[in-house]
Amino acid sequence: MPWLAAATLCVTLIQICSSSTLSTTSEADKIASLPGQPKVSFSQYAGYIPVDEKQQRALFYYFAEAEADPASKPLVLWLNGGPGCSSIGAGAFCEHGPFKPSGDVLLKNDYSWNKEANMLYLESPAGVGFSYSVNTSFYNSVDDKMTGHYVPQLAKLIVQSKLFNLKGIAIGNPLLEFNTDLNSRAEFFWSHGLISDATYESFNTICNYSQIRRQAQSGTLTPVCSRVASEASREISKYIDTYDVTLDVCLSTISSQSAALNKLQQTEKIDVCVEDKTLKYLNRKEVQEALHARLIGISSWTVCSDVLSYEMQNLEIPTISILGELVKSGIHVLVYSGDQDSAIPLLGTRTLVNNLAKQLGLNTTVPYRVWFEESQVAGWTQVYGDILSYATVRGASHEAPFSQPERSLVLFSSFLGGRPLPEGLMSEPAVKTNKYYQ
């Protein structure tokens, strides 16, 4: 049964803590050092979790022990969505892991989330990254019943199985309800000046984004919807990253040279090409050997799977109600939005969370307000019943820790510690002792 398989996986995941937190860790999975890695004091592990020995299916993980006092820190399982994208390539190496690739070396990430928790990154389902199934027919039948809508459905299974004490979940720029989330894109584009008044009107009166996506997936895109989509694409242009409409894109070498000559591109604090560097790094043979990783049935590692055929109809399965079930079970839920993401804009997400709070009868315990990182406004937040929270990360992309690492670390630390997000100019560090896990 799918839920039983997931429950079995959860048990296995718990056993991947460092030797200082659990004695069951396999020393064979311990990483001596990654190529080009700076010296660190914490331990790292990587390897495979067999999930179906008969079909020879296994999931690949990377575990970064907390930088200090790991035995007292919580275990956080990080899953990137996609569907079909790598938690290691995207989450660990591009967002909030301990290192980021730069040429042939790894640079220390000063805002790594393993400062606050033992971080476990899993490439899921099989067919993503280094995870594999020798029986490749599995790749043609992947749906939410076996994978889960990543975090919400997996959390529900964990609560039902009672295998361990789940404290809370946090999900960033999530697809919670197909129509609401996708149809908020038009208003987001229009309000940010990316599309014209006329095109915005077309989305509202002729064909909206959920219709376009639904028709495109089924191969039945109508001429009228095609025209609306084409006009929007023309106005937005191909030089805008829809995951962050304010961030520069990673240009090809020739384009980059041309842009530099024309003084169109300034030096970026954020390395917009880190995904390309991660792709190159994780395809080095010596890196794969250090990670105990193998290429099974594929010629190279990719950030998002080239072999997985996900049942895209499952994108229309709403998960907002599952968040409600988790809240009723006493699980703390944080939903956050990078506010420059047009793929899953904050507009739809904020509306859905606010409506959920009303349905659950939760009173607002923290009215909508700004929150701070150091001396700057880092976003806005609202809390319902001290168990359901919503927050935006100001200036952040779809992958908030990638473009706003400092602010995202404050958000993460506050959530783990059960503290409200800082509400004024901070006179002391935001990172304090975790309340939930003492």
CATH label of the domain that carries residue 328: 3.40.50.1820
The verdict on 25 and 146 lying in the same domain is yes
**217 and 317 share a domain?**
no
Report yes or no on 318 lying in a domain: yes
Determine the pLDDT at residue 180: 98
**261, 276, 293 — which closes off a domain?**
261
Residue 314 lies in a domain: yes
> Picking from 25-29, 58-62, 137-141, 155-159, which range would have the lowest pLDDT averaged per residue?
25-29
Angle at 113 between CA 111 and CA 116, to 5 degrees: 110
| Statement: residue 157 has pLDDT above 80 | yes
pLDDT at 209 over 60: yes
Tell me: the pLDDT tens digits for 348-367? 999 999 999 999 999 999 99
Number of domains in the chain: 2
Residues 166 and 194 in one domain: no
| Residue 278 covered by a domain | no
Contact criterion met (CB below 8 Å) for 2 and 145: yes
- pLDDT band for position 248 (50/70/90)? confident
Separation of alpha carbons 398 and 95, rounded Å: 11
pLDDT at 299: 94
Q: Return mean pLDDT, the chain.
A: 88
In a domain, 435, yes or no: no
pLDDT at 82 over 80: yes
pLDDT category, 426, cuts 50, 70, 90? low
| Whole-prediction pTM | 0.88
Which residue range forms the structural domain that includes residue 331?
Answer: 2-176+308-417
290 within a domain of the structure (yes/no)? no
Same domain, 20 and 147: yes
- Kindly report each contact of residues 392-395 with a partner whose C-beta sits within 8 Å and lies 24 or more positions away, as own/partner: 392/336, 392/337, 392/338, 392/339, 392/346, 392/350, 393/336, 393/337, 393/338, 393/339, 394/339, 395/246, 395/339, 395/340
- State whether 133 and 225 are in the same domain: no
Half-sphere exposure of 101 (CA within 13 A, CB side): 25
Q: In this structure, is residue 299 part of a structural domain?
A: no
Same domain as 186, residue 80: no
Asked if 223 and 323 sit in the same domain, the reply is no
Does residue 14 share a domain with residue 74? yes
Residue 114 has pLDDT above 60, yes or no: yes
* Domain assignment present for 213: yes
Residue type, 35: P
pLDDT in the model for residue 76: 96
**pLDDT > 90: percent of the chain:** 74
Answer yes or no: do 95 and 134 share one domain.
yes
Is residue 85 located within the same domain as residue 202? no
pLDDT at 24: 46
In a domain, 431, yes or no: no
432 pLDDT band (50/70/90 cuts)? low
Whether 315 and 404 share a structural domain = yes
199 with 316, same domain?
no
- Per-residue pLDDT band for 147 (boundaries 50, 70, 90) equals confident
Query: Alpha-carbon distance 267 to 157, whole Å?
Result: 45
